[in-house]
Amino acid sequence: DRMAGDGLRFTQFYNTARCCPTRASLLTGLYSHQAGVGHMVEDLGTPAYQGELNRSSVTIAEVLRTAGYRTYMAGKYHVTPGRPPERMKEHNQNWPRRRGFDRFYGTIHGSGSFWDPSALVRDDQFISSANDPEYQPAEYYYTDAIGDHAVRFVREHARDHREQPFFLYVAYTAAHWPMHAREGDIARHQGRYAAGYAAVRAARWEKQKRLGVAREEWGLPPAAEDFAAVKDPAFEARCMEVYAAMIEVMDQGIGRLVDELKAQG
């Protein structure tokens, strides 16, 4: 909300309905098929569906480095297959540091445990939440780790490279499945969704109109499902509580990052 209030709120946008193609477009400025990630990160046998960034595209990090920028990334990459560690040297040509980023902390593939994410990499080396000598919080949680490393990159840039501009790409995994959140974070949302889909939908529609991102005359299409007819409403409400907790922790991380940017001037 603070970023929206101080910056821009987009009332029109486009996404590709999947994570990998959307990320490929964000990183390259191209349609995802032009970048080689038309579907997911498997090779389907044609250039548009090769399943990883092609070399006829350039990332924003590659471009900005030519203008003297330092470039950093924290979070989910997912525009190249997450290959096993033993084949890393053979198949890491599209990893972040090969595509313009000076520093990287995050996951190469798309999803996994928030407590112990697989395909976790620091720069070019596979690590794990347990064996990482540089980051050992009291409790590891991937969303916090992404936010903490984003803050770290800003702080270290200000210390070591303040004379250079920088670009930081922070790609949170939340709230991708699996639904993982701390019990204490979930508890703050207890009962929030008990009224069901229609009530939540109506409240969000009113807020969108109040914010000016939607117009009354657009109306709403029919609801996809009746909450009163679901088999296990308590489970459905619990899922949304966990989802909300995941988003809240992400929001806190973004807040810490904004605060660090301001602290560093």
* Catalytic residue numbers, as ranges: 19, 78
Backbone φ, ψ for residue 122 (5° rounding): -110, 120
Amino acid of residue 111: S
As a whole number of angstroms, the distance between CA 20 and CA 132 comes to 27
5 contacts: CB under 8 Å, gap ≥ 6: none
Q: What angle do CA 250, 251, 252 make, to 5 degrees?
A: 90
Asked whether 95 and 27 are in contact (CB, 8 A), the reply is no
As a whole number of angstroms, the distance between CA 17 and CA 26 comes to 13
Backbone φ, ψ for residue 97 (5° rounding): -75, -15
As a whole number of angstroms, the distance between CA 221 and CA 226 comes to 14
